[in-house]
C-alpha cells in the first residue's frame, strides 16, 4: 500500500518510553523490521511538545514542533508507539504552525506521513502477526487520543487476534478515559484518582491475565493503580505482546 516495499521509517521513541520502558521502543523496531521497514532513530529527537501544548505555552510547543519536523522530515514515515504523541504531530503541529509560511507546509507534510505504530503496520504496511503464541487472557483499553484523534480501534485488535492462544475479553467502558491526561493526573490528582479507580475496577471485573493499551502514559496510570490496589493484572503495551515480549517482565515487574 505504501508504494515502496522497504520504506525508511523514523522511530519517534517518545519521552516516557525512552525513560521508563525502553522495551516498547525495541518492540517497535522489531515489528517495523519484520514488516520490511528500514528503521532509523534520529538522534535529534526529544519530546513532541505535548506538555507545552496542553499547558498553553504555544511558543515552546511550536519550537519543539519545528525541531521534530527538522529531525524527521527527510524520512518516508514517522512512526510512534503512542497515539497521543502521534496525534500531537498529526493535528497539533499543523495548527501550531498554520500562520508560519515556511513551516506550515512542512508541518502538513510531516502530519501526512506520521502514524501510530499499530495503525501504520496494518493500514500502511498490510502487516500480519505471524508465529506468535501466548496462552493468556487479555483485555484492551482504547487510549483516547489514538481512538478519537486517529481512529485507532480495529488495527490493534486485528493484530492481537492473530496471536495464537491469546483470548481477548471485552472491557466495560473500554473507550472511557483512564484519568491520565498528562499533567492533569498530578494537577488534579484527586479527580484523576477517582477516574482511574473506576477504570481499575472495570479491569478487575474482566479477570483477564493481561491489560493491553497503546499509550505508556495511560498504562502507567492504570498499572500503578492496579498495583496499589494489590491487583495482579500484568500490563503491557500492545506491541510488546505482538513482538513476543510478554514472557518478559510486565510494567512494574523486575527484569
Kindly list the residues in this chain that would bind other proteins in the complex (CB under 8 A).
13, 15, 17-23, 25-26, 41, 43-47, 49, 51-58, 60, 63-64, 67, 144-145, 148-149, 175-177, 179-182, 184-196, 220-221, 223-225, 227-228, 249, 251-255
Cβ 167 to other proteins shortest distance, Å: 25
| Residue found by looking up cell 499543523 in the block | 94
Q: By C-alpha distance, which of 111, 66, 106, 70 is closest to 88? A: 111
Q: By C-alpha distance, which of 45, 61, 41 is closest to 53? A: 61
Q: Which is nearer to other proteins, 70 or 162 (CB)?
A: 70
Q: Which is nearer to other proteins, 164 or 172 (CB)?
A: 172
Cβ 11 to other proteins shortest distance, Å: 9
Cβ 237 to other proteins shortest distance, Å: 12
Cβ 202 to other proteins shortest distance, Å: 12
Cβ 177 to other proteins shortest distance, Å: 4
Q: Which is nearer to other proteins, 89 or 124 (CB)?
A: 89
Q: Which is nearer to other proteins, 24 or 163 (CB)?
A: 24
Q: How many CB atoms lie within 10 A of CB 245?
A: 18
Q: Which is nearer to other proteins, 43 or 101 (CB)?
A: 43
Amino acid at each position: 500500500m505504501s508504494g515502496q516495499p522497504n520504506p525508511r521509517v523514523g522511530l519517534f521513541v517518545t519521552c516516557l518510553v525512552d525513560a521508563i520502558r525502553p522495551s516498547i521502543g525495541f518492540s517497535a523496531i522489531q515489528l517495523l523490521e519484520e514488516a520490511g521497514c528500514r528503521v532509523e532513530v534520529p538522534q535529534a529527537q526529544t519530546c513532541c511538545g505535548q506538555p507545552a501544548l496542553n499547558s498553553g505555552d504555544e511558543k515552546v510547543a511550536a519550537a519543539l514542533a519545528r525541531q521534530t519536523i527538522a529531525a524527521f522530515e527527510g524520512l518516508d514515515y514517522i512512526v510512534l508507539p503512542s497515539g497521543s504523541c502521534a496525534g500531537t504531530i498529526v493535528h497539533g503541529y499543523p495548527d501550531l504552525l498554520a500562520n508560519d509560511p515556511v513551516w506550515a507546509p512542512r508541518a502538513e507534510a510531516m502530519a501526512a506521513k506520521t502514524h501510530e505504530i499499530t495503525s501504520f503496520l496494518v493500514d500502511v504496511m498490510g502487516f500480519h502477526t505471524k508465529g506468535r503464541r501466548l496462552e493468556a487472557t487479555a483485555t484492551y483499553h482504547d487510549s483516547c487520543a489514538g481512538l478519537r484523534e486517529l481512529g485507532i480501534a480495529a488495527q490493534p485488535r486485528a493484530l492481537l487476534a492473530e496471536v495464537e492462544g491469546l483470548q481477548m475479553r471485552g472491557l466495560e467502558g473500554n473507550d472511557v478515559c483512564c484519568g491520565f491526561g498528562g499533567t492533569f493526573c498530578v494537577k488534579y490528582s484527586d479527580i484523576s484518582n477517582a477516574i482511574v479507580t473506576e477504570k481499575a475496577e472495570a479491569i478487575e471485573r474482566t479477570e483477564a491475565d493481561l491489560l493491553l493499551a497503546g499509550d505508556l502514559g495511560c498504562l502507567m496510570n492504570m498499572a500503578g493503580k492496579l498495583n496499589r490496589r494489590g491487583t495482579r493484572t500484568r500490563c503491557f503495551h500492545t506491541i510488546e505482546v505482538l513482538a513476543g515480549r510478554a514472557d518478559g517482565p510486565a510494567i512494574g515487574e523486575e527484569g
